[in-house]
Structure 1
Amino acid sequence: MSSIWTYAQGSGYTPEQSLVGFTVEAADGAIGQVDRQQDQPDMQHLVVDTGVWVFGKSVLIPAGAVTRIDSDARSVTVARTREEIKAAPQFTTDRETTHPTYLAAVGNYYFSLGLTPAS
């Protein structure tokens, strides 16, 4: 399942690039802005501030869901719909970004959606 936590080849990801502040686009519309990113190997993910879309909550999106990073447009495109992202296990605190049980739940959820990016 580690591929869910790693950016796919061809996504445009470069390790030295900060994605903080980039707009995040789902398959069916914008979902928010990157608030934080984790680049630790096999745990790469984005914490996205959804603003009012999900009542001011943040969501955690595994790097494997990212299909495209456009540095010029400062945008990140993910391979899921807004409703799929909204239905993911709820993110509430930064402590969860390293909690194995929470990360396993998120990984299993996205894996169940068929997220299997090429490595």
Structure 2
Amino acid sequence: MVDNPWSFGSSCGELAGIDLTGWRVEAADGHIGEVDEHSDKAGNAYLVVDAGGWIFGKLLIPAGAVKRVDRDRRTLHLSLSRGRVEDAPQFLPDQHRADREYREDIVEYYWKTGPC
């Protein structure tokens, strides 16, 4: 993962202006879901992922967790395991979208709780 969790890393290439909605999201060890919405705003870039049937609800994943982008297959590859994502703090869009404390919790969970 990158130093700034709310920015895409340089290995992702330029993503500004690309609509990632519907792109596949893959963990290091398997499929997670599809991008439901996203932001590519510098310092506030993230994915909201619809995990379908294996997790109830949606997930907020900071852009810094994206390690590789496959434009041909419309797939984002994360540096996270499925287990790490599955156990992440629940994302409730109406409550958490602009909640600074929630975002700090997400960064703490993904970046500071050990190996991904």
Please give the TM-score of this superposition, normalised by the length of structure 2. Answer: 0.89
Q: Percent identity?
A: 38
Q: What does residue 29 of structure 2 align with?
A: 28
Q: CA deviation at 1:12?
A: 2.9
- Tell me if the contact between 1:4 and 1:110 (Cα under 8 Å) persists in the aligned partners: no
Give the Cα–Cα distance (whole angstroms) in 2 for the partners of residues 114 and 41 of structure 1.
26
Structure 1 unpaired stretches of 5+: none
- Tell me if the contact between 2:8 and 2:66 (Cα under 8 Å) persists in the aligned partners: yes
Q: What does residue 87 of structure 2 align with?
A: 87
Q: What does residue 46 of structure 2 align with?
A: 45
For residue 5 of structure 1, give the secondary structure of its aligned residue in structure 2: coil
- How many matched pairs? 114
TM-align CA RMSD: 1.8
Return structure 1 stretches of 4+ with deviation > 6 angstroms: none
Give the Cα–Cα distance (whole angstroms) in 1 for the partners of residues 78 and 16 of structure 2.
18
Deviation digits for residues 54-87 of structure 1 (CA, Å, limit 9, x no counterpart):
13x1111100000111111010000000010111
Structure 2 unpaired stretches of 5+: none
Deviation digits for residues 86-111 of structure 1 (CA, Å, limit 9, x no counterpart):
11111022441221011111011111
Q: Which has the higher contact order (CA 8 A, sep 6+)?
A: 1
- Tell me if the contact between 2:40 and 2:46 (Cα under 8 Å) persists in the aligned partners: yes
Please give the TM-score of this superposition, normalised by the length of structure 1. Answer: 0.87
